[in-house]
Amino acid sequence: MIILISGNSSTGKTLMSQKLLEKYQIPYLSIDHLKMGLYRGDSACGFTPLDSTELIGEKLWPIIKGIIMTNIENNQNIIIEGCYILPHFIKDFEVEYSEKIISVFIGFSQRYIEENFASNIVKHRNAIEDRSYSEDGIITDYINDHDAFRRKCLDSGVKYFEIDKNYEEEIIKVYDFIEIQKHVIDRKFKEGADIL
């Protein structure tokens, strides 16, 4: 089983991955770490950390896709999180792979951003990882980024969860969705094993 978690900056992807690791005992991979490892190992890797999410995502996707396929082929589980999992990538997999993948995309509504930008979003960006770099983008840019991400998710037909009022209450829907999908995958795997 593969769990993919994507969303814009500061939506709680890393914290969710940590909690899922603790619940399911499944390791997780931060694509930010993969990005920096590749860049530090080879500065001619085709991107810099300051490039757009789309450019970096396109460069990293063949590697991430290969990791996902290898895990599935070896009946191994992994959680992969990062903003570089672009919504349209999810359609890259044939059915025998896609039926073992749970993907969730998380965003914020304009209302949530306007009401929580300083008090919750920026304040909690270091919940798991220490982000000493500046993320002082103006609120309008952050709203526009989330609007664009929402449209991409809807256009790609992926499972998109938007936090609108209360993060702690609404994020539970994402955990519930993952749990239900995990049971579906486990049941299919068990039924397939019973047939053999």
3-class SS of residue 160: strand
pTM: 0.89
Write out the two tokens for 41: 């190992």
CA-closest candidate to residue 169, choices 87, 125, 105, 112? 112
Mean pLDDT of 74-102: 96
Write out the two tokens for 34: 């993969």
Phi and psi at 109, nearest 5°, equal -75, 165
Average pLDDT, the chain: 90
Question: 67-87 pLDDT, tens per residue?
Answer: 999 999 999 999 999 999 999
Residues 77 and 1 sit within 8 Å (Cβ to Cβ): yes
The length of the chain in residues reads 196
Q: Count of domains in the chain?
A: 1
Question: 127-184 pLDDT, tens per residue?
Answer: 444 444 344 558 999 999 999 999 999 999 999 999 999 999 999 999 999 999 999 9
Structural domain that includes position 171:
2-195
Q: How far does the chain reach from its first CA to its final CA, in angstroms? A: 19
Q: How far is CA 89 from CA 59, 75, 103, 119, in A?
A: 12, 21, 11, 33
Q: Which is more confident, 194 or 26?
A: 26
Flag whether pLDDT at 122 surpasses 90.
no
Give the whole-angstrom CA distance, residue 40 versus residue 35.
9
Q: Which is more confident, 119 or 178?
A: 178
**For residue 137, what is the domain's CATH number?**
3.40.50.300
